[in-house]
Amino acid sequence: MSEIILTVEGIDPVELYGENNAKLNLLRKAFPDVTITSRGNSLKLSGEKKYTQPAKAKFEMMVRYLREHQELSVQTVEDLLGGENPFEVRIPVNGESSNAILFGRDGRPIKAKTRNQKRLVEVCETNDIVFAIGPAGTGKTYTAVAIAVRALKNKMVKKIVLTRPAVEAGENLGFLPGDLKEKVDPYLRPLYDALDDMLPMDKLQFFMDNRVIEIAPLAFMRGRTLDNAYIILDEAQNATPLQIKMFLTRLGPSAKCIITGDLSQIDLPGHQKSGLRQAMEILDGVSGIEVLSLTTEDVVRHRLVKDIIKAYDKIEAEERTKREQNRLKREAEERAKSEEGNN
């Protein structure tokens, strides 16, 4: 059990909690596993740590918003609890709603388009390490980059580090033309594409030149300590167990991290195991680490991509069933032979 007592000075409790505790009741509804009691300018949160910490983070955001804006509407509290960032300047563009992660090039809003993408934005606010797992086209990488760019713009971090395993290259990188950057850039292209959407070209180039934004193969992370940074490991299904461990132990005290991957698209050689599934199992239940699964319902690419994924999933499920049936058949035959030999 965890018990947290928060004291708020210089704020009218009625403004913070609402008439008849309307705003506070929204917090209670959002966190049913936390007992929330108020007395004057003190608030007590009781429950398991994995529930009280996110509730604390949301309440502190309510307090911060009220201090900075001298008002806190019920709608703002609902938006905050729904995963939106009330501190982001929101200007509707071309009739679109203002529910944006940030505004990209030419003022275009970068938005979470599906329920799980919105959930990804929310869990990243209250956890330092987030695994975003799902099939192709679900916006894992794009949403993760948007969250990191927003944190950089809001001065929550000093830099962004984006990395991927250059699996297809392996030891053959040396046979490709060009210098090292030219050899590995093709494998990092999706990260560049996302950044191109979110930052003006001159600003992005400035950030890259001054190492405010770094993009590098996973192997280049060894030996580093990354602090005051938002770190994204993309295509993590192609990292080995040792690489995943190496990456996770790079995090400094003030770092935040998003790890994206698709367990149905592992490109490692047959004798190598993916470290992504192992890491998710080992770290399950650790406070501050969240696993979010996206599904085919979150696919935001061409309408046929969803049907393609479902078709492949069906075939793979049939193959798994067939392999399991063959395994059981072999075991039964081996038992029968063993029994015959004993007789």
Asked if residues 270 and 151 have their Cβ atoms less than 8 Å apart, the reply is no
Confidence of residue 180 (pLDDT cuts 50, 70, 90): low
The predicted-structure confidence for 251-292, as pLDDT tens digits, reads as follows 999 999 999 999 888 877 766 788 898 999 999 889 999 999
Q: Quick one: pLDDT at residue 178?
A: 60
Of all residues in the chain, what percent are helix, strand and coil, respectively (each to 5)?
Answer: 50, 15, 35
Q: What is the mean pLDDT of residues 239-245?
A: 91
Confidence of residue 75 (pLDDT cuts 50, 70, 90): confident
Alpha carbons 30 and 190: distance in angstroms, whole number: 35
Nearest CA-CA partner of 213 in 161, 250, 257: 161
Q: What is the pLDDT of the chain when averaged over all its residues?
A: 82
340 vs 240, higher pLDDT: 240
Confidence of residue 169 (pLDDT cuts 50, 70, 90): very low
Q: Quick one: pLDDT at residue 289?
A: 93
Looking at residue 95, what DSSP letter applies? T
The mean-pLDDT minimum among 26-35, 143-152, 226-235, 272-281 falls in: 272-281
pTM value surpassing 0.85: no
Nearest CA-CA partner of 217 in 163, 168, 179, 260: 163
Confidence of residue 171 (pLDDT cuts 50, 70, 90): very low
Alpha carbons 73 and 31: distance in angstroms, whole number: 19
Asked if residues 150 and 101 have their Cβ atoms less than 8 Å apart, the reply is yes
Alpha carbons 144 and 147: distance in angstroms, whole number: 5
Q: Quick one: pLDDT at residue 282?
A: 92
Which token pair is 173? 């990188």
Q: What is the mean pLDDT of residues 78-88?
A: 73
**Beta-carbon contacts of residue 120 (< 8 Å; ≥ 6 apart):** 112, 130, 132, 140, 143, 144, 147, 292, 294
94 vs 7, higher pLDDT: 7
The predicted-structure confidence for 147-160, as pLDDT tens digits, reads as follows 999 999 888 999 99
Neighbouring CB atoms inside 10 A of 235's CB total 26
Element holding 87 (H helix, E strand)? none
CATH number corresponding to 102-296: 3.40.50.300
Q: Quick one: pLDDT at residue 306?
A: 66
Alpha carbons 210 and 206: distance in angstroms, whole number: 6
Q: Is the pLDDT of residue 87 over 80?
A: no
Nearest CA-CA partner of 108 in 116, 96, 118: 96
Asked if residues 4 and 35 have their Cβ atoms less than 8 Å apart, the reply is no
Q: Quick one: pLDDT at residue 131?
A: 95
Q: Quick one: pLDDT at residue 90?
A: 44
Alpha carbons 90 and 102: distance in angstroms, whole number: 8
State which of 28-37, 265-274, 300-309 shows the largest mean pLDDT. 28-37
Q: Quick one: pLDDT at residue 158?
A: 92
Q: What is the mean pLDDT of residues 88-115?
A: 65
Q: Is the pLDDT of residue 91 over 80?
A: no
Alpha carbons 288 and 54: distance in angstroms, whole number: 9
SS3 225: coil
> With pLDDT > 70 as the criterion, what percentage of the chain qualifies?
86
CATH 3.30.1370.10 fits 2-81, yes or no: yes
Q: What is the mean pLDDT of residues 188-199?
A: 84
Domain ranges of the chain: 2-81, 102-296
Q: Is the pLDDT of residue 108 over 90?
A: no
Q: What is the mean pLDDT of residues 185-214?
A: 85
CATH topology agreement for domains 2-81 and 102-296: no
Alpha carbons 289 and 268: distance in angstroms, whole number: 25
Q: Quick one: pLDDT at residue 303?
A: 62
Alpha carbons 120 and 147: distance in angstroms, whole number: 9
SS3 151: helix
Q: Quick one: pLDDT at residue 31?
A: 92
